[in-house]
Structure 1
Amino acid sequence: MCVSPAQAQQTVLIGAANPLTGSLAAMGKDAENGTRLAIEEINASGLVIGGQKITLSLDGKDDAGDPRTATMISQSLVDDKVVAIVGHLNSGATIPASKAYSEAGIVQLTTSTNPAYTLQGFKTTYRLTATDAQQGPALANYVIKKIKPKKVAIVDDATAYGQGLADQFEKAIKALGVDVVSRDATNDKAVDFRAILTKIKGENPDIIMFGGADAGAGPFTKQAKQLGLRAKILGGDGICTEKLAELAGDAVDNVICSEAGAPLEKMPGGKAFQAKYLKRFNQPIQGYAPYDYDAVYVVVDAMKRANSTEKARILAAMPTSSYEGVTGKFSFDSKGDLAHGSISMFTYVAGKKHFLEEFKL
């Protein structure tokens, strides 16, 4: 029997879960944009798997960066019958959501950095970047080398990401012989940090490490300058965005931050991706859009090698992934962590993000 072209076409859903509202919305939309751009490109170039023309469709959901919402969203995506998940953005959403994907046998690819994500024993968990167990020590070693601090204060936003990164940094900096004079917790909705900063000012640290996102780090950095603190502000990939400069004003030049990956200008396809992204969305890249873009291509590569769009066969093909993307090579260890990662250090000069150094892992 002859199969008509209409019958031969198949729509395959790729799930994307990100904070599209709330304090992490800029980073969440950026991540979803990366996924969207890849899907549009693949559809435009044509995809055939098992003799069928495949049209990819984005199933994007808003988890608001909230663990409880993320858990509901994860079940909704499973019910929608997506074949893969790109997301969630923040570890506090990614980790609770991962259980539903594991139970459904759906591969999940994320830029979340909390080590706990891939330590759960799930066969579905894959990470596109380095972890906080690598990022925390890289931050500590960098500031030891460049600033030689004697005293450090640490503040975190009590999220899985912020607290986790701060824990890793604290362990590493103490091992290097630096005195941690205080450890304070706030929350990811806070915008007034003057009480904590006034206390820290009396402790006179050389560095204040902020574990959290740009929405908190912006006002934190601005208020630190207003209160006359001279300590450098240090943070991870959650604060290392273009948005931070808007939120912190001229105080942003006092920030040193890391990203769990290579800087855009050092990515194999970074320059070309930046041009495509700007043309499509008319705005600068905020964070991990290149990785979410690559994630879709990693999934499609698994489809091609499996010669199937079935979720089980895609998942079965993932451990042998070896894909060269915009951001570099994607191959994974037995837990689903990236085999060849890097950590990059940045500061801000006249309000513009400025690359300092890259550490290969």
Structure 2
Amino acid sequence: MIKIAVDAMGGDNAPEEIVKGVVAAREELSDVEFVLFGKKEEIQKYVSDFKNITIVHTDEVITMEDEPVRAVRKKKNSSMVMAAQAVKNGDADALFSAGNTGALLAAGLFVIGRIKGVDRPGMTTTLPSLEGAQDSFTMLDVGANAESKAKNLHEFAVLGNFYSCNVMQVTNPRIALLNNGTEYDKGDRIHKEAYQLLEADDSINFVGNIESRELLNGTADVVVTDGFTGNAVLKNTEGTALSMLKLIKHAILDSGVSGKLGGLLLKNSFKEVQDKMDYSKHGGAVLLGVKAPVVKAHGSSNEEQVKNALRQLTTMVDSRITKNLSDYFETHQSRQEEKE
């Protein structure tokens, strides 16, 4: 039976929405056991049936305000660290948290550990494509590394290529480098160097630079960037979508009876647009490059979003993604070294 370690205290709506999401996921995933780490008396409020659910009491919580590395080192009895430790010890197969992103990255690096050869794991998310054959694309890094070297961007491309092929089921995914122009010589020194590394790697289908305005237009299947830029783009995309929907709603409400009737007739269409732009339905952000599946959900995740992320984690464990990624990355490195 698959075991997923859950940081039940991480996130803005913890533990209520986290626990409710676990209960909802359990109804769909009968062959999964969920081990919830956190304050037992608080978690128990939202569970009436403990089938396939175990609670491990913890006294400490890593908050959003905690300094990530210090918190992981000092709060060893926190829900996040103990959940990560369970994965490291083999008592669980995967880790879920909606808590402090930096702390989860630190727990992934220092507790679970990196795959051999990976310099910096990348945070990977799935975003909607509004045009083209695929309905979504993969972007990394979206928050694990504020600064990256050219070789790290190359690594992200390799990791993203594997994820797109094996999880998103894309054949020969198109990989693009996020930049401030499409020309090969655009960007700073790091991006110019990264472009050369990506273009020289014949194991990936590199299609060149991509501008942020083209991200949702189906131009690429994998978009590579540093964590600072990726996180800013992710939040901007989410914020713009929400703002546009609010703007349309206010325009309809302020346009009189005829406008309101028109809005009522288009209600289902607006719902389709909202669903299309909701990247959380694909699950959470995956920390690619560590020795076990780790998924980070949005801090404000609700029951449905938590359930989606847990379903995503189960699929990753079933497909042995970490072992396969480790083998793939090692083979890629060997080929690159032979070329040199």
Give the alignment's TM-score, normalised by structure 2.
Answer: 0.33
Higher fraction of strand: 1
| More relative contact order, 1 or 2 (CA 8 Å, 6+ apart) | 2
